[in-house]
């Protein structure tokens, strides 16, 4: 490392209020100079410094996907985490992982699933299966407020507050098993529609377990603001993916297993299944009028089973449809056949006539191009082209919607424009801003389920393969292979100017309401309190502050057998300067972010002395940031 003075001005000097500026200044005060502590920028005549001491790397012929050190990506990517139960945040086009947001899982790094706030949200469960991530909307585009994600394993919907990139609410979905497809309304932050994929007895109280003819699935509306269930519509078939229009009139669900089977053979008999279309105004009117039934503990259920009705219409499409995606102009719903080589294009403007009975449901289908074997999901570039993931062929197919409609009407045209190989067996796909009216046709992702020979082998369990495709070149080009821990199921790509996260906690929301209530009960100020308060014979609440490089209280006393709640407030007001609290030997560890408060409750069974320490590197004297718990 060179300590020479740079021969040119640093283009982005270190912000003294940033974490790097804080650490550098502190290290210099501690003696030995910043260089000795390894915290300064490393500029020299041979290595001009940028922000943080790393200059952007210039490449004469670098890939469009290359993002040089010190440069930022143009997009956020929000990836579901599948069986990990989390959400992953990537930078696009670099495909760098920026953050993992624990949702339905336990995360040892942050204490999610162990701290008091997350334990209350999770209600004792520490596993989940996140499949679909979607952001909240205003006027047809992302508003940067929330991310919603489902839990297929336990019929839950979680909401992530994008100010903090942290879960702030979890809703349990009644009468549902295998909650799979979800989608928010696009005209405003209104309803989030959720499909239960698995038909089950309704109610599931043991009376109809052996009679599949009594099984049904639920299309559930969750209020995106209150995170409470608003209504459910009960239908016959398994529902898979979900979508909403741009006007707030309809929600959509692909339906496979219209046969009502419970085995593989029984579920594949019919050559045709359905796209369900739900009329949201008619449903809400019936709910308001009290025309609902009670199923289990939920009393706002509409029975939409049987044939077509005022609440739900069934548009026939080829067998086992999987994905349903809405074009950025709001004109069409594109349904992928899975067991058919086709995509069905449904004209949304015809759906009013379908509900009125003036045309047959199948008349709303205006195109059905053959795109490959095993079509699953479709993305859009905002220029009239669609990009469908083809599972069996392991390709991405680019096709033109207008040409597909012309072909359907008998014209001798070919709607398929191009195919590009991906590796291997691609599932979900999405394109930059594709799910909004601002689709820009820059980047396309292929989430491949198998990597096989793409990377170094790692035993029987391999990574998956996320591939990034450049949509702007003359031909589609795969420009990035990336490993993915199983199993990212879906992703959305969002322009960075849509997301405005806070750098320092503002202490708003239910979490802080809980802590302020505690502080009011105990007559303390969270920002200054450092004391042990006995709440009962075996119950203790400890308030303490943290400010690098020390805690506000370094000795505390409790009694063996006490259940202790440690409430820690980070009073550093420095960007990216997190602290934590870890009590050795008690499975007790959590993060406390800048200007934030967190708490964790643990039973202390044995007398003795136990160290607690800060597990997050926060200072040159980080190792010295600790204290002692005396258990008498």
Distance CA 19, CA 17 (A): 7
pLDDT of 188: 95
Distance CA 240, CA 179 (A): 9
Distance CA 595, CA 597 (A): 7
DSSP secondary structure, 274-315, as one string: EEEEEEHHHHHHHHHTT--EEETTEEEEEE--SS--SSEEEE
pLDDT of 49: 35
- For residue 464, the tally of other CB atoms under 10 A from its CB is 21
Residues with pLDDT less than 50, the chain: 1-60
- For residue 287, the tally of other CB atoms under 10 A from its CB is 18
Give the pLDDT confidence of 290-318 residue by residue, as tens digits: 999 999 999 999 999 988 999 999 999 99
pLDDT of 62: 64
Q: Which residues pair with 629 in a beta bridge?
A: 556, 610
Q: What is the CATH number of domain 510-631?
A: 2.60.40.420
Q: Which residues pair with 146 in a beta bridge?
A: 161
Edge-to-edge order in the sheet of strand 156-161: 133-138, 141-151, 156-161, 166-172
pLDDT of 270: 79
Q: Which residues pair with 361 in a beta bridge?
A: none
Which residue has tokens 């289990």? 296
Q: Which residues pair with 547 in a beta bridge?
A: 550
pLDDT of 197: 93
Structural domain boundaries in the chain:
1-55, 510-631
E strands, 177-297, in order: 179-184, 191-196, 200-201, 215-223, 229-235, 238-244, 250-256, 272-279, 293-295
pLDDT of 260: 82
Distance CA 143, CA 146 (A): 8
DSSP secondary structure, 125-170, as one string: -----B--EEEEEETTEEEEEEEEEEETTTTEEEEEETTTTEEEEE
E strands, 432-490, in order: 443-448, 464-470, 477-484
User: Between the CA atoms of 519, 520, 523 and 527, what dihedral angle is there, to the nearest 10 degrees?
Assistant: 40
Q: Using an 8 Å Cβ cutoff, are 443 and 469 in contact? A: yes
pLDDT of 60: 38
pLDDT of 2: 36
Distance CA 78, CA 433 (A): 12
Tell how far CA 437 is from the center of its chain.
20
pTM of this structure: 0.90
């Amino acid at each position: 490392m060179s300590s020479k003075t740079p021969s040119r001005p640093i283009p982005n000097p270190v912000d003294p209020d940033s974490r790097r500026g804080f650490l550098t200044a502190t290290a210099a005060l501690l003696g030995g100079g910043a260089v000795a502590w390894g915290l300064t920028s490393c500029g020299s005549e041979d290595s001009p410094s940028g922000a943080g001491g790393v200059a952007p790397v210039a490449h004469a012929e670098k890939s469009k996907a290359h993002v040089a050190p010190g440069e930022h990506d143009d997009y956020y990517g929000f990836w579901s985490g599948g069986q990990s139960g989390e959400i992953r945040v990537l930078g696009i086009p670099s495909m760098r992982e920026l953050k993992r947001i624990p949702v339905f899982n336990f995360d040892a790094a942050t204490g999610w699933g162990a701290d008091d706030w997350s334990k209350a949200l999770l209600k004792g469960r520490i596993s989940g299966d996140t499949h679909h991530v979607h952001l909240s909307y205003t006027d047809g585009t992302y508003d940067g407020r929330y991310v919603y994600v489902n839990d297929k394993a336990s019929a839950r919907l979680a909401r992530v507050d994008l100010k903090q990139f942290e879960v702030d609410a979890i809703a349990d979905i009644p009468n549902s098993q295998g909650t799979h497809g979800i989608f928010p309304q696009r005209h405003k932050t209104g309803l989030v529609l959720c499909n239960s994929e698995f038909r089950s007895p309704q109610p599931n109280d043991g009376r109809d377990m052996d009679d599949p003819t009594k099984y049904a699935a639920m299309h559930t509306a969750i209020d995106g603001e209150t995170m409470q269930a608003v209504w459910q519509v009960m239908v016959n078939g398994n529902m898979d993916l979900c979508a909403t229009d741009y006007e707030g009139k309809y929600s959509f669900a692909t339906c496979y297993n219209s046969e009502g089977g419970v085995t593989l053979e029984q579920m594949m008999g019919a050559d045709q299944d359905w796209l369900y279309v739900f009329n949201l105004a008619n449903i809400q009117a019936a709910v308001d009028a009290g025309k609902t039934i009670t199923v289990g503990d939920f009393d706002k259920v509409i029975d939409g089973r049987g044939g077509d009705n005022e609440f739900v219409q069934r548009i026939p499409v080829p067998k086992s449809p999987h994905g349903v995606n809405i074009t950025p102009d709001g004109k069409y719903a594109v349904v992928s056949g899975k067991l058919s080589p086709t995509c069905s294009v449904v004209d949304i403007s015809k759906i009013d006539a379908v509900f009125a009975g003036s045309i047959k449901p199948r008349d709303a289908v205006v195109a059905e191009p053959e795109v490959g074997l095993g079509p699953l999901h479709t993305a859009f570039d905002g220029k009239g082209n669609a990009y469908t993931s083809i599972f069996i062929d392991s390709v991405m197919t680019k096709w033109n919607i207008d040409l597909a409609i012309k072909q359907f009407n008998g014209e001798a045209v070919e709607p398929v424009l191009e195919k590009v190989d991906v590796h291997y067996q691609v599932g979900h796909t999405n394109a930059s801003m594709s799910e909004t009216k601002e689709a820009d046709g820059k980047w396309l992702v292929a989430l491949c389920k198998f990597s096989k020979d793409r990377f170094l082998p790692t035993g029987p369990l391999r990574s998956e393969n996320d591939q990034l495709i450049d949509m702007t070149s003359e031909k589609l080009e795969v420009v990035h292979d990336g490993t993915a821990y199983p199993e990212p199921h879906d992703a959305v790509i969002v322009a960075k100017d849509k997301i405005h996260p806070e750098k320092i906690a503002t202490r708003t929301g239910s979490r802080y309401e809980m802590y302020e209530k505690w502080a009011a009960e105990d007559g303390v100020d969270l920002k200054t309190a450092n004391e042990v308060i006995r709440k009962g014979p075996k119950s203790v609440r400890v308030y303490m502050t943290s400010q690098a490089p020390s805690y506000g209280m370094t000795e505390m006393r409790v009694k063996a057998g006490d259940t202790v709640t440690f409430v820690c407030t980070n009073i550093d007001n420095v960007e990216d300067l997190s602290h934590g609290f870890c009590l050795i030997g008690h499975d007790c560890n959590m993060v406390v972010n800048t200007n934030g408060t967190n708490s964790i409750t643990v039973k202390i069974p044995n007398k003795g002395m136990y160290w607690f320490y800060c597990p997050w590197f926060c200072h040159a004297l980080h190792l010295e940031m600790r204290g002692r718990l005396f258990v008498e």
